């Protein structure tokens, strides 16, 4: 730590390798963290930091401190116009003040020493603001102060430091300090001066050591685009998105962004240029680089013992990754909350627009279309802000919005980050919001899925809360039924024993939309495999290492016909419910190639991502001979039964009658009570006239279930049940536990209720 008796060489400048986490008061959070990173096995661009003492010296020697006090006297941060006027006056004072000679000399000496270390005359450097109250576990000043890039020569360095000093008084920074009770003069500014990474020749971006939307901690979420990182941070470019599962270092998800523009160095400054079409649809990082970044992020997180928000770059000259800065993630990192809030629309309206969803919530209000930050006085409390993009200057009014819609940006853009911090749902990257929406119209912003949707009118919605603390353990496993991968991370905190039924059909319908044979015909089978692999991996990762049972596709022919191209490949059946579905499809020559795509997706989930908690389940398997054919084909397609558990759905009377023979083939059973009831009682479950006869508690059904459990247990095979009967039929859970069921799978909304009920029954 510095002191008043230190020489200017130490008092005003500190090299990164001499800094650690105790130096925040001296050099700010950003510079102190870089010092910590320099001691870890994490690549950091070389450089030094100015100190808080240097900032104080600047204020005293230039006699501007009293002027700053006067300019801030009587400030009302809610008066946007007055805030802007005062901020502009303060910044001009600091930018025009002469640099004190003692400080100027020391900065020049440090810059020349850096040049010697790099063996480059007048090296290009980046000068990044580092506030002494920045990046604290309980507050984030990130993005409020200036970064000056491509600074060359001592004169430019002096100007850049002055610019950073002035940026301590941006409108956003002033308002933030007022709102959080920080004295303006208790927060000081240091400057991290680093070798300029040549990401303009490669790529750069940001990452979080958790999922920033849900707080799920087992993943690293990386966003990146070509060129300098400012366009990613500011939300001006649609970046690639990569999700890495930390326990296995497997890549769960890769989404290519448009990456239409990039910022590069040009003529001593920077310029934004268009990216050639052939480059836009390539990934900005290789799989090896993605995993390396995740590994660095994990080391950083382990050291700081909290979730982190990290900026990175790939130097195109050196072909090497560097960590630019790391700070605590403040939205989820400080929360010990154990309440899961689930928003749900209760009605549907006309869909107007879609984009990237931020915040897992719903917002309603009048659309307020603003083309420029100078119009932000028009935004009233409860309005939905609609604009091209936001930057730090928007922050004083963003908290007024019930929701935010932008045309540009990704999950880690400015609008996304700030919306999470403020608890405001947002949809970013819509592309055409200002053309589609009309100023003053009432709209609903639904951010409850991966895809955000804007609906016409103010729709009804509810917010459910579930407390997940102090939930008892149960001898009987309670699992979830889940088909939507977009909900997986947000539900991971539920104290359940994994997933009892993950339906492939939801993923195919929502993420693919085309018949698999149609995609094969188009030579686009890879898109089917990738979408299915990603969806399954997200669910399996969320509940790792608990068992996740993935049911192979169980589309009926009429459902397959509704997919794009489906009519070319599907027969018209009089009764698809008992037609060409389930196991009978997989080995059929007319569907075999499509079944390979499913097996390949599952193989990649288990082998490439490393999610060996996935169990495969075969639906609608009519006979043991059919089961043998399916298992043989799965083995041929890379899903070997030697290291993979395969269950069978028990939903046909034949599964009950021949339970002993099915038990010799399969590793477990899962009761599909709807189909079992339908086929046992001969009742079409879709018939309104026969609805009164459809009864899962009928003796014929319950005796079948009891018989199956007894026979399966004689063969040491577990039995679960998937369906709503335990939560909707009085006494059904008691019956299942009395029969010896091993697991009960229910929808997420009744999971806690089911756990409590099972515990109560088990305790007697």
The catalytic residues are: 414, 722
Q: What is the dihedral of CA 583, 589, 594, 596, to 10 degrees?
A: 80
Give the span between the Cα atoms of 725 and 399, in whole angstroms.
44
Tell me which residue of 221, 204, 224 sits closest to 315, measured CA to CA: 204
Query: What is the DSSP track for 161-191?
Result: HHHHHHHTT-HHHHHHHHHHT--TTTS-EEE
| DSSP 8-state class, residue 401 | -
Q: How many helices (H) and strands (E) does the chain have?
A: 29, 30
Beta bridge partners of 591: none
Q: Across the beta sheet with 250-255, what order do the strands follow?
A: 250-255, 240-245, 219-226, 203-208, 308-315, 320-328
Instruction: Tell me if 613 sits within 8 A of 545, measured CB to CB.
Output: yes
CA 471-472-478 angle, 5° bins: 90
Instruction: Tell me if 81 sits within 8 A of 377, measured CB to CB.
Output: yes
Q: If you count them, how many residues does the chain have?
A: 764
Count Cβ atoms within 10 A of the Cβ of residue 268 and give its class: 0-12 exposed, 13-18 middle, 19 or more buried: exposed
Q: What is the dihedral of CA 631, 634, 640, 642, to 10 degrees?
A: -10
Q: Where are the beta strands (DSSP E) in 425-582?
A: 426-428, 442-446, 451-456, 461-467, 477-482, 499-503, 548-551
Work out the number of other CB atoms within 10 angstroms of the CB of residue 407: 19
Give the span between the Cα atoms of 591 and 189, in whole angstroms.
65
Tell me which residue of 90, 41, 102 sits closest to 66, measured CA to CA: 90
Tell me the CA distances in angstroms from 336 to 451, 665, 750, one per residue in order: 28, 46, 23
Pairing mode, strands 403-406 and 668-672: unpaired
Instruction: Tell me if 36 sits within 8 A of 301, measured CB to CB.
Output: no
Count Cβ atoms within 10 A of the Cβ of residue 556 and give its class: 0-12 exposed, 13-18 middle, 19 or more buried: buried
Tell me the CA distances in angstroms from 343 to 21, 235, 490, 643, 752, one per residue in order: 39, 26, 11, 39, 17
């Amino acid at each position: 730590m510095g002191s008043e008796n230190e020489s200017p060489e130490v008092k005003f400048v500190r090299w990164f390798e001499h800094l650690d986490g105790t130096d925040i008061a001296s050099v700010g959070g950003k510079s102190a963290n870089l010092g910590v990173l320099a001691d870890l096995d994490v690549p950091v661009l070389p450089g030094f930091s100015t100190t808080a003492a240097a900032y104080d010296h600047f204020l005293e020697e230039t006699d501007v401190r009293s002027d700053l006090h006067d300019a801030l006297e009587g400030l009302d941060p809610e008066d946007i116009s007055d805030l802007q006027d005062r901020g502009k006056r303060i910044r001009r004072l600091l930018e025009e003040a002469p640099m004190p000679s003692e400080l100027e000399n020391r900065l020049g000496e440090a810059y020349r020493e850096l040049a010697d270390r790099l063996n480059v005359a007048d090296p290009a450097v980046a000068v990044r603001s580092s506030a002494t109250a920045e990046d604290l576990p309980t507050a984030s000043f990130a993005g409020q102060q200036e970064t000056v890039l491509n600074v060359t020569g001592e004169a430019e360095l002096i100007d850049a430091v002055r610019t950073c000093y002035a940026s301590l008084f941006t409108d956003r920074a002033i308002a933030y300090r007022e709102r959080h009770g920080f004295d303006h003069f208790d927060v000081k500014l240091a400057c991290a001066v680093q070798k300029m990474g040549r990401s303009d020749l490669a790529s750069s971006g940001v990452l979080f050591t958790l999922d920033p939307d849900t707080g799920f901690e087992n993943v690293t979420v990386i966003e990146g685009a070509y060129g300098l990182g400012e366009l990613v941070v500011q939300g001006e470019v649609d970046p690639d998105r990569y999700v890495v599962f930390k326990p296995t270092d497997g890549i769960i998800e890769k989404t290519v962004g448009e990456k239409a523009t990039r910022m590069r160095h040009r003529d001593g400054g920077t310029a934004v240029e268009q990216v050639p079409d052939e480059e836009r649809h390539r990934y900005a990082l290789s799989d090896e680089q993605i995993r390396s970044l995740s590994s660095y992020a994990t080391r950083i997180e382990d050291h700081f013992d909290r979730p982190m928000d990290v900026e990175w770059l790939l130097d195109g000259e050196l072909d090497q990754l560097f960590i630019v800065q790391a700070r605590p993630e403040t939205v989820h990192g400080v929360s010990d909350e154990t309440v899961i809030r689930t928003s749900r629309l209760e009605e549907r309206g006309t869909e107007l627009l879609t984009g990237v969803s931020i915040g897992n919530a719903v917002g309603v209000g009048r659309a307020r279309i603003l083309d420029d930050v100078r119009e932000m006085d028009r935004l009233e409390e409860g309005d939905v802000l609609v604009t091209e993009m936001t930057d730090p200057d928007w922050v004083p009014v963003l908290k007024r919005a019930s929701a935010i819609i932008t045309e540009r940006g990704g999950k880690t853009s400015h609008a996304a980050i700030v919306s999470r911090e403020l608890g405001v749902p947002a949809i970013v990257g819509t592309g055409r919001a200002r053309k589609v929406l009309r100023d003053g119209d009432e709209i609903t912003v639904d951010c409850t899925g991966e895809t955000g949707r804007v609906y016409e009118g103010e729709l009804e919605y509810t917010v459910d809360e579930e407390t997940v603390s102090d939930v008892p353990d149960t001898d009987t496993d309670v699992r979830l039924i889940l088909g939507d991968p977009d909900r997986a991370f947000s539900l991971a905190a539920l104290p359940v024993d994994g997933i009892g039924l993950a339906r492939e059909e939801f993923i195919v319908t929502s993420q693919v939309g085309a018949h698999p044979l149609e995609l094969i015909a188009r030579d686009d089978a890879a898109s089917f495999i990738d979408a299915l692999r990603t969806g399954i991996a997200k669910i399996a990762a969320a509940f790792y290492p608990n068992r996740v049972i993935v049911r192979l596709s169980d589309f009926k022919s009429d459902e397959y016909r509704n997919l794009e191209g489906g009519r070319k490949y599907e027969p018209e059946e009089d009764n698809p419910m008992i037609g060409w579905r389930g196991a009978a499809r997989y080995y059929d020559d007319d569907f075999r190639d499509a079944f390979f795509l499913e097996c390949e997706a599952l193989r990649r989930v288990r082998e490439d991502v490393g999610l060996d908690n996935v169990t495969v389940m075969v639906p609608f398997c009519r006979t043991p001979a059919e089961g043998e054919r399916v298992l043989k084909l799965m083995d041929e397609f890379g899903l070997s039964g030697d290291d993979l558990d395969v269950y069978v759905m028990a939903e046909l009377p034949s599964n009950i009658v021949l339970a002993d023979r099915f038990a010799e083939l399969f590793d477990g059973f899962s009761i599909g009570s709807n189909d079992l009831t339908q086929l046992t009682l001969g009742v079409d479950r879709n018939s309104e006239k026969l609805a009164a006869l459809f009864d899962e508690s009928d003796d014929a059904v319950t005796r079948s279930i009891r018989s199956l459990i007894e026979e399966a247990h004689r063969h040491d095979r577990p039995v679960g049940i998937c369906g709503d009967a335990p939560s909707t039929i009085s006494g059904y859970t008691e019956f299942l536990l009395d029969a010896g069921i091993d697991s009960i799978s229910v929808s997420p909304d009744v999971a806690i209720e089911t756990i409590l009920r099972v515990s109560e029954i088990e305790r007697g």
